[in-house]
């Protein structure tokens, strides 16, 4: 099919009938005279030779049309532009017949997958939910363009995940819209996560905070789409929390959002937020803001056990240091240490106390029996 599509496009391009614009994920085919879009063709239906007839390269992403639509449109263009020359006529009809053969084969092999499961190429993310509105489709993606992110963001999220008390944290969460086969990025959130009945939305910054107003705008406008997705997945979300996650400590304050620091995460500190907004049937109310402390992180088992060990060691040290004995006994102890019977004076004291207890315990039992 790739070779046939190239032959048809090459012929139409040579005749000055079409213009070809290359974008991310495929090409846009335009009528050269009327400058209107005829086709959106995905890169999976193109071979490398297409680069030889490209007129323009642009940024952007396309939503490719189906194989059937592409073939039928090409057939229509061929019949519409048949020339008087018999040679050209023959070439056009041969290509049109090849299209008919392909369409027949596709009809026989047509799968029964629903339209919503069609793959959208080159969005660099995993689709988690789709919402069909009047004239557009809203698509929610996680892991969106992870390779384009600044390097410091990845470790910040990974370390937060280790201490996160809630459910899974999704990195690089994007919301895009598809209108008339064109894809527009509406917003990107650096991370989202669910904790109890709270949807937490993160904006990660090094130390600059100039784009915070934009983050808050996106938070109020687009978080309802995430709430709808979570509701479909049986999550009960009562509150939504905007969180500014900073790598470096600053004096920045904002009464409309929570601020946490990477340094505190690395030190296993208890991370709290206290600014929440109420979710009412998928709508977020700023006036419904409430203040209460919510702990985001769980205690580190490793750090707790280490702390307990340190405390026990200190208590043992205090016990040893608080034992007093006659000076002549101390000289004898030092001699035993020098001669290698014990590693230190403390080792001798521990040995002596343990053996003393081993002697006293049997005497205690004998006394009870008597």
Which pLDDT tens digit goes with each residue over 200-257?
999 998 877 777 888 998 999 999 999 999 998 889 999 999 999 998 888 888 888 9
Identify the burial level of 369 via C-beta atoms within 10 angstroms of its C-beta, where 0-12 means exposed, 13-18 middle and 19 or more buried. Answer: exposed
CB 202 within 8 A of CB 190: yes
Tokens of 103: 């369409």
Same domain, yes or no: 231 and 269:
yes
CATH number for the domain spanning 139: value is 3.40.1350
Q: Could you give the CA distance from residue 130 to residue 119 in angstroms, rounded to a whole number?
A: 12
User: What pLDDT was estimated at residue 191?
Assistant: 94
Same domain, yes or no: 216 and 266:
yes
CB 28 within 8 A of CB 181: no
At which of 66, 91, 109 does a domain end? 109
Does the predicted model carry a pTM greater than 0.85? no
* Residue 97 covered by a domain: yes
Measured between its terminal Cα atoms, the distance across the chain in Å is 102
CB 138 within 8 A of CB 224: no
Same domain, yes or no: 257 and 345:
no
Among residues 10, 209, 43, the alpha carbon closest in space to that of 120 is found at 43
Same domain, yes or no: 148 and 258:
yes
Same domain, yes or no: 279 and 330:
no
Same domain, yes or no: 163 and 266:
yes
Q: Is the pLDDT score of 119 beyond 50?
A: no
- Strand-pair category, 258-261 with 239-246: parallel
Same domain, yes or no: 86 and 147:
no
Same domain, yes or no: 233 and 332:
no
Mapped onto helix, strand or coil, the DSSP state of residue 158 is: helix
Same domain, yes or no: 198 and 105:
no
More confident call, 134 vs 77: 77
* Residue 233 covered by a domain: yes
Q: Could you give the CA distance from residue 337 to residue 344 in angstroms, rounded to a whole number?
A: 6
At which of 92, 109, 126 does a domain end? 109
Same domain, yes or no: 185 and 280:
yes
CB 219 within 8 A of CB 228: no
- Strand-pair category, 126-132 with 198-205: unpaired
Among residues 25, 257, 233, 232, the alpha carbon closest in space to that of 122 is found at 25
CB 153 within 8 A of CB 163: no
Say which DSSP state 48 is in: G
Model pLDDT for residues 279-331, shown as the tens digit of each residue: 887 788 776 667 778 999 987 544 444 555 455 444 444 444 445 566 667 67
* Residue 124 covered by a domain: no
Domain containing residue 256:
135-295
Q: Could you give the CA distance from residue 56 to residue 75 in angstroms, rounded to a whole number?
A: 24
Tokens of 327: 């000076």
* Residue 115 covered by a domain: no
CB 166 within 8 A of CB 196: yes
Total of domains in the chain: 3
User: What pLDDT was estimated at residue 117?
Assistant: 40
170: phi then psi, degrees, rounded to nearest 5: -100, 125
* Residue 300 covered by a domain: no
Same domain, yes or no: 144 and 104:
no
* Residue 151 covered by a domain: yes
Torsion angle, CA of 324/328/331/332, rounded to 10 degrees?
-100
Q: pLDDT class for 151, splitting at 50, 70, 90?
A: low
* Residue 266 covered by a domain: yes
At which of 262, 295, 328 does a domain end? 295
Q: What percent of the chain has pLDDT over 90?
A: 25
Same domain, yes or no: 243 and 356:
no
CB 12 within 8 A of CB 41: no
């Amino acid at each position: 099919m790739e070779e046939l599509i190239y032959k048809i496009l090459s012929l139409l391009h040579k005749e000055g009938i079409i213009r070809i614009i290359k974008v991310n994920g495929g090409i846009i085919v335009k009528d050269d005279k009327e400058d209107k879009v005829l086709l959106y063709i995905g890169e999976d239906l193109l071979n490398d030779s297409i680069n030889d007839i490209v007129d323009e390269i642009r940024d952007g992403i396309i939503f490719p049309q189906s194989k059937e639509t592409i073939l039928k449109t090409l057939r229509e263009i061929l019949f519409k532009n048949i020339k008087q020359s018999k040679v050209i006529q023959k070439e056009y009809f041969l290509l049109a017949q090849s299209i008919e053969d392909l369409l027949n084969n596709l009809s026989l092999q047509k799968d029964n997958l629903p339209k919503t499961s069609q793959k959208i190429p080159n969005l660099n993310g995993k689709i988690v939910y789709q919402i069909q509105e009047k004239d557009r489709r809203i698509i929610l993606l996680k892991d969106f363009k992870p390779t384009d992110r600044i390097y410091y963001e990845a470790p910040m999220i990974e370390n937060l995940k280790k201490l996160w008390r809630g459910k899974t944290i999704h990195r690089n969460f994007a919301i895009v819209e598809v209108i008339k086969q064109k894809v527009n990025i509406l917003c990107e959130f650096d991370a989202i996560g669910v904790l109890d009945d709270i949807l937490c939305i993160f904006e990660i910054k090094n130390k600059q905070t100039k784009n915070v107003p934009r983050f808050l705008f996106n938070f109020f406008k687009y978080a309802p789409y995430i709430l709808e997705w979570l509701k479909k997945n049986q999550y009960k979300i009562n509150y939504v929390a905007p969180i500014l996650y900073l790598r470096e400590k600053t004096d920045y304050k904002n009464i409309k959002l929570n601020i946490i620091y990477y340094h505190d995460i690395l030190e296993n500190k208890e991370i709290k937020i206290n600014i929440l907004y109420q979710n009412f049937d998928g709508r977020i109310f700023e006036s419904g803001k409430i203040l209460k402390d919510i702990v985001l992180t769980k205690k580190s088992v490793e750090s707790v056990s280490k702390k307990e060990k340190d405390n026990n060691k200190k208590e043992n040290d205090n016990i040893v240091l608080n034992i007093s004995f006659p000076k002549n006994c101390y000289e004898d102890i030092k001699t035993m240490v020098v001669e290698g019977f014990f590693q230190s004076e403390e080792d001798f004291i521990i040995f002596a106390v343990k053996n003393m207890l081993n002697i006293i315990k049997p005497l205690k039992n004998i006394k009870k029996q008597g």
